[in-house]
Amino acid sequence: VSSVPPDADEWLELAGRRLRGAGLKSGAARNAVIEHLAREGGCLLSAQEIALGLREKGPGSNASVYRTLEQLTELGLVHRLDGADGVARYEVAHPDHHHHHFFDERTGEVVAFEDDGLEKAIADVAKRLGVELTSHDVILRGRSSQRDS
Amino acid sequence: VSSVPPDADEWLELAGRRLRGAGLKSGAARNAVIEHLAREGGCLLSAQEIALGLREKGPGSNASVYRTLEQLTELGLVHRLDGADGVARYEVAHPDHHHHHFFDERTGEVVAFEDDGLEKAIADVAKRLGVELTSHDVILRGRSSQRDS
DNA sequence: TTATATGCAAAAGCTTTGCATGGGT
DNA sequence: ACCCATGCAAAGCTTTTGCATATAA
């Protein structure tokens, strides 16, 4: 939709650092996945969509895509969301920007949003429950308020 | 964990009403699923767990369980959550009690909780986005704060 | 009597895994 | 050299679907 995210480079560096830190070696397929995510990972992407995008210009087999996404999820570099259609979708996880999603049931559109009040409410709940959060998701479903049917 | 939920009967009646209202006929398998849910649907149950629970004492094939759960979800009678393991889990949806879940990543335990502040924050977001919500989920992951490792 | 419900078995996906090969460090 | 990464093809899984039969209304 938009062009390359502004913090793409930042994330790329972070990814490199964490991968190296985990004792992993660089490889063509994983690099391709990571670059693809840095470019288009702003919205929810399925493994197959990524694999398809890569297949056109080089490396990145299905297996490698799945394996890479699992690693990146493990390292907290991408965020995984399991859809009602049984397909897992992935997004770049930025260190300090939590965002969530609204699914329009009429149009199928997905809107990402950020909300400090919501984040605060979640932090409050965690405190009340006496737990430490490592991640959280908020999924909203409904229709955008319009006058027509 | 606990005994039969107090509002089980209430939900059973609601279910009957909605199913009839949708022009559906009663059937042994679906009845069994519904009764099972009324009894044990307080926590997240997978289709296969339900099917297994039914198989022991009567009707309820795999196919019927899946079909029933889809119908109940459609009618808003149960709430569906798609797990990271690729398995969908279901819970009875009570008309006026929203609750959400905390997943302890250390123990695997799942804690259900309610929080008015959180609900309010979500309602506020919806208003700000100009959307009408039909459902929403909040998923928390982390560890319960304890002193040991 | 007609539309729905059920069950079985087969099919459909998405995702994972075994294994041999290639590549980084 | 050693260990990790990659790709292919073959499983593994949950979930869906086709079809014949049984059953509610």
pLDDT at position A57: 79
Query: HSE (CB half, 13 Å, CA atoms) of B116?
Result: 0
**Hey, is B128 helix, strand or coil?**
helix
- Spatial distance between the Cα atoms of A106 and A108, rounded to a whole number of angstroms: 6
Q: Which band of pLDDT confidence, cut at 50, 70 and 90, is reported for residue A88?
A: very high
pLDDT of residue A61: 94
Residue B3: which pLDDT band, with cuts at 50, 70 and 90? low
Shortest Cα distance, chain B CAs vs residue A44, angstroms: 15
- pLDDT at B1 (0 to 100): 47
Q: pLDDT value at position A149? A: 45
Q: State how far residue A81 is from chain B, nearest Cα, in angstroms.
A: 8
CA distance B93 to B144: 26
Confidence of residue A21 (pLDDT cuts 50, 70, 90): very high
C-alpha distance from B108 to closest chain A C-alpha (Å): 14
The Cα–Cα gap between B38 and B6 comes to 10
Residues engaging strand D (CB under 7 angstroms): A 23-31, 59-64, 67-68, 86; B 25-28, 46-48, 62-63, 66-67, 70, 86-88
Residues of A near B (Cβ–Cβ under 8 Å) read: 80, 82-84, 86, 88, 102, 104-105, 111, 113, 115, 117-118, 120-122, 124-126, 128-145
Residue type, B131: V
Distance A2 CA to D3 C1' (A): 40
Q: What is the DSSP letter of B134?
A: E
Helix (H) / strand (E) element for B112: namely: strand B110-113
CB contact (8 A) between residue A143 and residue B129: no
